[in-house]
Structure 1
Amino acid sequence: MSEPTTTFSNFNFDQKINAALANLNLSEPTAIQQQAIPTILEGREVIASAQTGTGKTLAFLLPIMQKMLTQPSPRTGCRALILTPTRELAEQIGQQIKNFAAHVHLNYTLLTGGAEFKYQAALLRKNPEFIVATPGRLTDHLRRNSTDLNDLEFLVFDEADRMLDLGFKDDIEAIAEQANDQRQNLLFSATLENPQLVRIAQSILDNPVTIKDRERLKSNSNITHQFVLCDDEKFKQKAIDQLLKTSDFEKCIVFTNTKAQANRLRGVLDYLGHHAGCLHGDMTQDQRKQILKAFRTHKFKVLVATDVAARGLDITGVKGVIQYDMARSTEDYIHRSGRTGRAGATGLSVCFICAPDWNNKARCENAVGETFTKISVPGLTAKYKGPEKLKSSGKAAGKKKTASKPEKNAKPKNKVRARDTQNKGRPKRFGPAPKKSQTAEKAPDRSLDDGFAPFKKAKKD
């Protein structure tokens, strides 16, 4: 692998690419770009660990565009396919290609859910060089024969770990099977520890070069991590009201774990006087675009969102992130907090921690590499003070379970009543078992039974 370079000019890009970089005021590559670009230009397949905000999109776009310009294809089909887990990330990548399109004259088509299928099929008939797609929508187009991947030269899996988390494993394998065998595969993921990801990489990639972003944690060093101890939902609502009133956030993203909670919290914030927008997976593509446009143009400063907004959103001016519901995994926390503190700016990430969230907080502290600072909200004091004892990992230390010992003078129970065993093991829906009669009827003697009812002697008056 080539030695890392300090400026884009040392990569010997085509003049069209250099002109686009100059127009975007980009001169120095990030750490992941320094490692990935030379390797991709050499034709090697890559599996890279990089999170959003580190410049990974240009790490694969720039060398792909360079190879397209220097090696024109006589075929007319799609040359590069970029798969992403969410519509927002797909649009983000599409915008990056659009920034270079005026100079390099390479077109792209966006294939995501929420848009009209026939309109997308019409765009595909124009044979764009790039297709940026979510796995589900692309699979639909392949099934209806509105496109094919016979001429594909580059297949990029962006945020591959998230695609697997969302259940796209079968779609990924089906797409890779239909794509041209003579292609270069590139896989980018926030973490390389997922066993499913390892199996996918082994089955699809051919002798890949593994690249790990050495500045993953350094990229988040300008984010201050804090937490507030909370008791319950009502306490959280009061706490977020006070934080938004006392903070100087230009823009703030509030994360919840469910769509229903996002809708509910947006209504609460609106009632408390904080004009807020809402973003989650049940919204149409047009609704998402309108919300993001309004957020970018300062029509409201608070965006309540699920993890659909944790990756792929690059919005300037986001000074704070509030984890109203604590992230379920360390990767989700890193991506959520990564919405602030981007491009060298400072940012603040505040977590609301109830008793069940403490161990999640400890795991996130270990992943980020620093201890979160405890803060208090003016006028609010939680009854929950944190765990009494902590393990070396920072997690709560539970009490050891000990087997109960029998009492010294305990006497065995001799008498067993019928009522003690009558309903044992009987389902409650059947009700209590009927009581047995004290004197059981004698069974009739059927030793000479001829199949007829037994003869009974009539009683005399």
Structure 2
Amino acid sequence: MLFSELALHERVQKALTELGFDKATPVQEKTLPLAMAGKDLMVSAETGSGKTAAFLLPMLNHMHSHPAPHSATRALILVPTRELALQVFQMCEKLAQYTYIKAGLIMGGEDFRHQINTLRKNPEILIATPGRLIEHMENNNHDFSDLEYLILDEADRMLDMGFGADVLTITNDCRKERQTLLFSATLTGNQLGKMAEEVLNDPTRITLKTARDKHENIHQQILLADDTAHKEKLLIWLLENETYEKALIFTNTRAQANTFIGKIRVKGLRAGILHGDMDQRERKHVMRLLTDGAINILIATDVAARGLDIKGVQLVINLEMARNGDDYVHRIGRTGRGGEQGLAISLIGPDEWNRMSSIERYLKLRFEKRTIKELIGSYKGPKKLKSSGKAAGKKKSDKKNPAKKGASEKQRHRVKKNVGKRRTSADAPQPSTTTHVTTAAIDSGFEPPKRRK
């Protein structure tokens, strides 16, 4: 579907043309007509599918066609991370560049007083992270009485990060007569279902590719590693020998990211670091360096897995395997965007094999196993445990021994027959005449006493 086929305002259409957007992506094609008709939506689509424009275009079109210059904020977009908030804000400014519509940005790491001034100006569109917005709400710096649109972007991630209660607090303070759009990597899960019941009104579900669908244009490989030192050698080899414009390296902890950034830089590679402990000024600086090409390698924690739209990322390396399948998908989704080819390589240590296998099962695929001949280690994967043949054989032979089976049946019959009968001395068990001698006694030369006649 072409954007020109939609009844978009000419100023919105002009911005699309200037940005080179002429054909809608699948998620935009399915979402835009329903959103423009005022429907509440629950949308599931893969990362990098064009979700941002799918919810921005309908509201920009409506606001420009129906101006309300004296109203309070008309649209609220909630996102889980600062990086995603900044990305949505920038896209909103580009699409609204020929309109009077203004957007405001509320997120952690920025000056609180400056944000108060932003809220007082009543921007038509407000993009916010839940934690910082709650702080402003506690100080009564907001006004959602005129709200027409509520967007929950990456709702599953907000729940994963513990923002569920904050999101419901915010939505309960919003105007009830509004249109709500919820975007998520998946539409399953009890928490998400409960949130949808409270926030949405008779929503239409749209499901395209989900986190479990294959990324056809991303080549996914694993490299087995003995330990951290071996991983370091594999990582440096890949960064020095693979072909890429930009590379992203993911770790599970800030400590690992801080450790490996020095190991990468000492090899003369142009690398930066991004994690949740950095303030917003530092984050912006690193992203600017990567965008401008001053660095071409970024080592990051999962704070960068969602919301970053970096052009030219052709290589993703998981220095540590992601904690779950959804996080893995969002990591590798930084490459192979816009129909381009990408390569994702995971370095798997002995303690990560089970995690890797569970992700394979979740995604219903097999990662390609790769080796680097100069750096082959001793770890080859888990050893297969052999079953105990003795125990199995014994049970098997018992089943196949009819004589033994018959004997046991006769014994049970005899016991049953004699139930209630008085035992005679002949029937009583006789004392054993066998003398039991331990191995230790024999070894020491001990002789058992002779029985008296």
* Range class of TM-score, shorter chain: 0.7 to 0.9
Query: Does 1:146 find its partner at 2:141?
Result: yes
Q: Is the 8 A contact 1:75 1:151 kept in 2?
A: no
After TM superposition, give the deviation of residue 398 of structure 1 in Å: 9.8
After TM superposition, give the deviation of residue 192 of structure 1 in Å: 1.5
How do 1:24-423 residues align onto structure 2 when only pairs under 5 Å count? Answer: 24-73=19-68, 75-214=70-209, 220-389=215-384
Scaled by the length of structure 2, the TM-score of the pair is 0.83
User: Deviation per CA, 1:78-113, whole angstroms, max 9, x where unpaired?
Assistant: 000000000000000001111122212211011010
User: Deviation per CA, 1:319-359, whole angstroms, max 9, x where unpaired?
Assistant: 10000010011111111001011111111000011123223
After TM superposition, give the deviation of residue 375 of structure 1 in Å: 1.1
**Is the helix fraction higher in 1 or 2?**
2
Structure 1, unaligned runs of 5 or more: 1-5, 390-396, 404-410, 412-461
Number of equivalent positions: 392
Aligned mates of 1:250, 1:186 — CA distance in 2: 35
Structure 2, unaligned runs of 5 or more: 392-435, 437-453
Q: Is the 8 A contact 2:186 2:211 kept in 1?
A: no
Aligned mates of 1:314, 1:260 — CA distance in 2: 25
Q: Which amino acid aligns with 1:307?
A: D
Distance 1:276 1:378, change over 3 A: farther
Stretch moving more, 107-116 or 67-76: 67-76
Aligned mates of 1:255, 1:232 — CA distance in 2: 17
3-state SS in 1 of match to 2:196: helix
| Residue in structure 2 matching 1:19, options 14, 19, 24 | 14
After TM superposition, give the deviation of residue 378 of structure 1 in Å: 3.7
Aligned to 1:436: none
Aligned mates of 1:74, 1:38 — CA distance in 2: 26
Q: Which amino acid aligns with 1:300?
A: I
Q: Is the 8 A contact 1:227 1:372 kept in 2?
A: yes
If you compute each CA radius of gyration, which structure gives the higher value, 1 or 2?
2
Aligned to 1:392: none
Q: Which amino acid aligns with 2:7?
A: N
Distance 1:77 1:342, change over 3 A: same
Aligned to 1:419: none
3-state SS in 2 of match to 1:103: coil
Scaled by the length of structure 1, the TM-score of the pair is 0.81
